Amino acid sequence: MTGLLISVRSPWEAQLALGGGADLVDIKEPARGALGAADPTVWSAVLAAVAGRVPTSVALGEIRAACEPQDPRKLAGFQYAKLGLAGCRSWADWPQRWAERLLVLPAGVTPVAVIYADWRDAESPRPDDILRRAAEAHCGVALFDTFCKTRGNLLHHLEPPELARLTSAARDAGLRVVFGGGLGPETIGQVLSLNPDYVAVRGAACRTDRTGDVDAGLVRGLRQLISKSSCSGRPA
C-alpha cells in the first residue's frame, strides 16, 4: 500500500501529522524553498516528538546553496535525507560533487535522489541523468517533486505517460519511488495507479497553503483517500 508522507516544520506539526495517520514524517522549512532545511534544533525536537513511531526524513536544501556539510551526529536519527540539485545543470562534475556531499550521511540514513519535474526552471540536471547517477551516490529513493511551488504541480510538468516512464526507470535502478510536487486530493488519485511507495504532501495537509499549519483532519482525509484507492485496486 502507498504510504503518506507529511512534511512538517515543528514538533507540534509532527504530532498533528501522526494523529492524522502519516506513515512517514519529513522535516523541512517551506519558507526556505522546495527543500528548505529547518534548523538542527527543529530536527532534534521533531525526532523526539516522533519517537520512532514512523520513519523520518530530512531536507538539507540545494547543493549549490548548502553550507558546510552537517555534523553527521545530528542526522543519525533519520532514515532518509534529501539534498537537491537545483542550479547544478551547468556543472560538468555535478555527479561527483553530489556523491561527495552525500558521503557525510551516517550509516542507516538513505540518500534520496530528488527529480524536479520543472528541471529547466530549477536549472537542475535532467531527470534521466539523475536516475543514471543515483547508484553512484548510493541513493535508495527517487523523489519526483517540483522546485517552484507557484507554477504548477507535478502533473503540470510531467504528463502521466512520462511520469510512468521515469517511475519505471527509477525502479529499474533499484529505487523506491515517492511523488510530491503540490499534489492534492484530485491529483493524488491520478498518480496512485503507478503504485508509488509514498505520496509526499505539505500544502494539501495545511489549513491555508504550504506555509500554513498542518491540520490533522486534512491529513486524515488524505490517508483515507489513499487507503480507499489501495483497497479498491484503482485510483480514487
The per-residue pLDDT for range 175-214, each reduced to its tens digit, is 999 999 999 999 999 999 999 999 999 999 998 888 899 9
3-state secondary structure of 217: helix
Bridge partners, residue 198, by sequence: 3, 178
Name the β-bridge partners of 143: 114, 178
Selecting among 28, 74, 149, 228, the annotated active-site residue is 28
Query: Per-residue confidence at 73, pLDDT binned at 50, 70, 90?
Result: confident
- Ordered by where they begin, the domains of the chain are 3-111+180-232 (3.20.20.380)
Whether residue 99 has pLDDT greater than 90: yes
Which of 74, 82, 149, 228 is catalytic? The answer is 82
CB 232 within 8 A of CB 226: no
Residue 74 known to be catalytic: no
The neighbour count for residue 33, using CB atoms within 10 Å, is: 18
* pLDDT reported for residue 233: 56
Q: Are 147 and 118 in contact (CB under 8 A)?
A: yes
Answer yes or no: 28 catalytic: yes
Nearest partner of 138 among 96, 104, 99, judged by Cα: 99
Q: What is the largest CA-CA distance in the chain?
A: 47
Among candidate residues 117, 118, 112, 94, the one with its CA nearest the CA of residue 55? 112
**Is the Cβ–Cβ distance between 46 and 82 less than 8 Å?**
no
